[in-house]
Structure 1
Amino acid sequence: MNKLSMLTLAGAASLTYAWAQEKPVVEEKSQPAIPERLLDESHMKEELGVNEFTAPSIKKIFEDLEGLPPIPEETAIRKRPDKLPVDRSSLALEMGFLMADGFIIVQCGKMNEVRPIALDLSRYAKAMGAGERVNRHAASLLKNAEDGDLTNFKNNLALTQNDVEQELASLRDPDMAHLIALGGWIRALDAATAALDKKFSPDQAKVVFQPDVPEYFVEILGGLEPEMQQRRDIQGIRKLLERIQAQMTLSPETPEPTEETIKKLRETAVSLVKTALGGFSA
């Protein structure tokens, strides 16, 4: 093993240890109802079900956005941080961004981006204590990309999220599972608004206007443990989500999305990306 690999492993181990020391014992808590269209098939199985650890499926989020105009290349290819985040909330949000990156590269045909994303997924999962599970999926993702098997590629990304979710359930940490899903949704919104801002279509834009999704995440963030809220600008993220909820709410006066409403939504989405990633963005 070379020196860089040893340092990476040491850093991941240190982060996992710090996370375990930081994590207090918390009582189980209820969560707001997840919009049903964002529940994956696996959530309906009896052995999993919908519980406090269940989060919206990133795969389902992207299924909602199929049929949009092409995503601009400057948005599709995202620069990612070289170093792992130092706090759990940032780690989870970035993990969600990474999973969403996988769906975006499939949509854009940028399959040469699969390897770095798969490696980063393994790196982040290891820091969360779910490295073994995710490593199996990372190998499958590379094989799917090599074979051009896009359906199984997306299925393996969904399984990656499910496996991390199950690992977090064993650690009694539902907050992390929800933040992963939030990161995936923010990245999906980033891609969708960039595509519509470049090539607007009122019919295609309708699928983005789902105010119940930001409303759900606003409630989730309000229930995060206090220490996690202090480590990141959670209140800043909540305020931007509330603004997005209002911008997505169509009215009798404006019953259809317009170019102007998309431009405003795009501006807020860009601010949300920057806030969610703590100032780090492409």
Structure 2
Amino acid sequence: MNFLRLAKNCLPAVLPALALAATIAGARGQENATDAKPAAAPKLDLKAFPGALVDKVVVPVPAEIFAVLDKFGQPDWSGQIQLPERNPVSAGRVRLALVFGSTVAEGFIAVQAERGESIQDVGRRVLRLSESLGLGDAVVPHCQSIIDAAGEKEWRRVREELDRTQQTVRTTMEKLRDDDLANLVSLGGWLRGTEAVTAIVSGTYSPDKAELLNQPDIVRHFRDEIAAMNQLVRSEPEVVAIAEGLSVILGEIEKAEGAAPSADAVLRIGETCRTLLEGFYFEKPKPAPTGSNSQP
């Protein structure tokens, strides 16, 4: 499958957001080169990343995106790894699905950073979450292989097993036909990946880099999917907040009228993603103490 010639309606989800981060980091490395004329960063079509639609659920193809990432070298992914101290395993299925997606996205970042301990941690969390979601039997063998390969620092094997894991998840989704749950998994991962991308873009802003965040189609896609969900699902507090947050993100993108989002817009998109993730994945920041000068 040629990733530049995929159908227009194959929208990006978790991995495409990370691929954008790799593109930005690769361009940064070219800008800093002093012994050769910098080469232009590759132009990527946001609507042409590898993917497949399974009952309207976006399923990215990891193997091809990993191959694209390799062409950009090895950016410093370590600074983007932000595993929470703990993940809930006894929450409702809506929250579990969102956390599952974000945790998988964290795993993709850890693989690119070649951080064995973080990958193993993600693998163990995915095992627990998959069991809570009733996917344990299908996912456990792959997760164990990922953990073992990470311990041996066999990154190629980790990537191959991640690809097999994605294929298994796709098959399981087809059998369960739980569209709402599958969409929430994709949505949780997309939010985590996009938050990481905005952090990189904001670090050294330029319109060319910010253009990589100009992806209104996928925002509309997720917003439409939420609107079509079962009433009980879309009325969950996390889902209500995400629907509102997606409208904020889309508004920031549309303000640019087809151009690259401004530096302020990129910051607001990142802050919105972060706030939404704090609703189910990241721990909320503790409020600043008041009356610090007062006596106990």
| Match in the other structure for 2:48 | 37
8 Å CA contact 1:69–1:199 kept in 2: the answer is: no
Residue 56 of structure 1 aligns to a residue whose secondary structure is strand
Say if 1:257 and 1:69 are closer, same or farther in 2 by CA, change over 3 A: farther
| 1:236 equivalent in alignment to 2:247 | no
| Aligned 1:18-37 pairs, distance under 5 A | 34-35=10-11, 37=48
CA distance in 1, matches of 2:196, 2:214: 14
| Match in the other structure for 1:93 | 98
Q: In percent, how many aligned pairs have the same letter? A: 22
| Match in the other structure for 2:263 | 259
CA shift digits 1:92-143 (9 cap, x unpaired): 1111011101111123332221111111111111122221221111122123
Q: CA deviation at 1:58?
A: 7.6
8 Å CA contact 2:99–2:281 kept in 1: the answer is: no
| 1:192 equivalent in alignment to 2:197 | yes
| Match in the other structure for 2:30 | none
Deviates more, 1:221-230 or 1:64-73: 64-73
Choose between structure 1 and 2 for higher RCO, CA contacts under 8 A separated by at least 6 residues: 1
Say if 1:230 and 1:259 are closer, same or farther in 2 by CA, change over 3 A: closer
Residue 88 of structure 2 aligns to a residue whose secondary structure is coil
| 1:272 equivalent in alignment to 2:283 | no
After TM superposition, the score normalised by the length of structure 2 is 0.69
| Aligned 1:75-86 pairs, distance under 5 A | 75-86=80-91
| Match in the other structure for 1:221 | 226
2:183 to 159, 178, 191: 178
Q: CA deviation at 1:89?
A: 0.9
Say if 1:205 and 1:149 are closer, same or farther in 2 by CA, change over 3 A: farther
CA distance in 1, matches of 2:250, 2:65: 18
8 Å CA contact 2:78–2:115 kept in 1: the answer is: no
Say if 1:58 and 1:250 are closer, same or farther in 2 by CA, change over 3 A: farther
1:52 to 51, 55, 65: 55
Q: CA deviation at 1:261?
A: 2.3
Unaligned runs of 5+ in 1: 1-32, 44-49
Query: Aligned residues, how many?
Result: 239
Residue 55 of structure 1 aligns to a residue whose secondary structure is strand
Say if 1:190 and 1:120 are closer, same or farther in 2 by CA, change over 3 A: same
- Partner AA of 1:108 in structure 2: A
- Partner AA of 2:259 in structure 1: P
Unaligned runs of 5+ in 2: 1-8, 12-46, 286-296
CA distance in 1, matches of 2:133, 2:106: 19
8 Å CA contact 2:211–2:261 kept in 1: the answer is: yes
Query: If you compute each CA radius of gyration, which structure gives the higher value, 1 or 2?
Result: 2
CA shift digits 1:33-63 (9 cap, x unpaired): 54263543xx4xxxxxx44163232848976
- Partner AA of 1:265 in structure 2: I
